[in-house]
């Protein structure tokens, strides 16, 4: 007579499910941590690639920095405005043939110093405004209009620009400070004029909760310096400064906040920006 082997009882199945759920609860945070660490490594590598491109470009162009504001109606190519715009769709930002004029890091892409524009976007960026995918539909990247600008995932519209996923602010400390803003009106025209201890680019700086690298209440941003070196700033004094609240309230502009954070990352004391 054959013996029929009984299957799992309901209680046994519930025990197995409970064990699996417990293991998932233990493993998922660890896997999430590993994934974020990998993204941080990629981000740091990209920032370093941009630094290498900067070194090569300035060597080829007599130490001149790429234009910060390619506006044919403005005679100042280093006007300090919009630290993230790479292309703009307005007529003043196109040549006579209608071609978009590159500015900032886009010059490295068009000049062949950077092969893949994904390098301009940290993979940990949280806001779609600063993600590669937002500016490659329709393809190719570097073309306008883009569907994201017409209607983003929340139904909002944006200027027909192509934005990058880092904050780029190369400052010449010798430039005159505008007393109304506490910062200069122009960016650095040459690589030699940039302060060696103040970064020229960091991960995107906008809202504190959108800082790309965060674990619980610990924040970190990659910072690129003019010699091509990259450091990870984890200084609590930078992230606990009142400038973040001032930015949220509107008492300082985004550019003012960028400038103040850059100064702090470089070790300078910064007072109230309001």
In sequence order, what are the residues at sequence separation of 6 or more whose Cβ sits closer than 8 angstroms to the Cβ of residue 114?
Answer: 49, 50, 53, 105, 108, 120
- C-alpha span between 154 and 135 (Å, rounded): 16
Task: Return the pLDDT at 4.
Answer: 53
> Is the pLDDT at 89 greater than 70, yes or no?
yes
Q: Which residue reads 């941009």 in tokens?
A: 50
Mean pLDDT over residues 237-244, rounded?
96
Residues in the chain: 274
Cβ contact 69:244 at 8 Å = no
- C-alpha span between 95 and 168 (Å, rounded): 24
Mean pLDDT over residues 234-262, rounded?
95
> Is the pLDDT at 5 greater than 60, yes or no?
no
- 3-class secondary structure, 121: strand
Mean pLDDT over residues 28-49, rounded?
80
Domain boundaries, given as residue ranges, for the chain = 37-265
Mean pLDDT for the chain? Answer: 91
> Is the pLDDT at 271 greater than 70, yes or no?
no
Mean pLDDT over residues 110-133, rounded?
97
**Per-residue b/e over 222-243, b at no fewer than 16 CB within 10 Å?**
bbbbbebebeebeeeebbebbb
């Amino acid at each position: 007579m054959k013996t029929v082997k009984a299957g799992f009882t309901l209680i046994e199945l519930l025990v197995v499910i409970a064990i699996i759920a417990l293991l998932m609860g233990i493993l998922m945070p660890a896997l999430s941590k590993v994934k974020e660490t990998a993204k941080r490594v990629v981000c740091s590598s990209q920032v370093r690639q941009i630094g290498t491109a900067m070194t090569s470009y300035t060597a080829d162009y007599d130490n001149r920095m790429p234009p910060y504001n390619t506006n044919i109606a403005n005679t100042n190519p280093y006007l300090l405005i919009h630290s993230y715009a790479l292309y703009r769709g307005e007529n003043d930002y196109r040549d006579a043939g209608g071609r978009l004029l590159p500015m900032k890091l886009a010059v490295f892409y068009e000049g062949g110093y950077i092969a893949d524009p994904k390098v301009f976007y940290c993979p940990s960026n949280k806001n779609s405004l600063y993600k590669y995918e937002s500016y490659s539909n329709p393809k190719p990247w570097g073309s306008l209009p883009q569907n994201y600008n017409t209607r983003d995932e929340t139904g909002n519209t944006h200027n027909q620009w192509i934005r990058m996923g880092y904050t780029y602010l190369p400052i010449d400390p010798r430039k005159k400070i505008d007393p109304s803003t506490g910062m200069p009106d122009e960016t650095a025209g040459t690589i030699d004029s940039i302060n060696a201890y103040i970064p020229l680019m960091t991960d995107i700086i906008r809202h504190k909760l959108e800082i790309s690298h965060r674990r619980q209440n610990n924040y970190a941003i990659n910072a690129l310096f003019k010699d091509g070196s990259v450091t990870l700033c984890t200084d609590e004094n930078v992230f606990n400064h009142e400038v973040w609240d001032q930015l949220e309230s509107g008492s300082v502009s985004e550019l003012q906040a960028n400038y103040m954070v850059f100064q702090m990352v470089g070790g300078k004391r910064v007072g109230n920006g309001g």
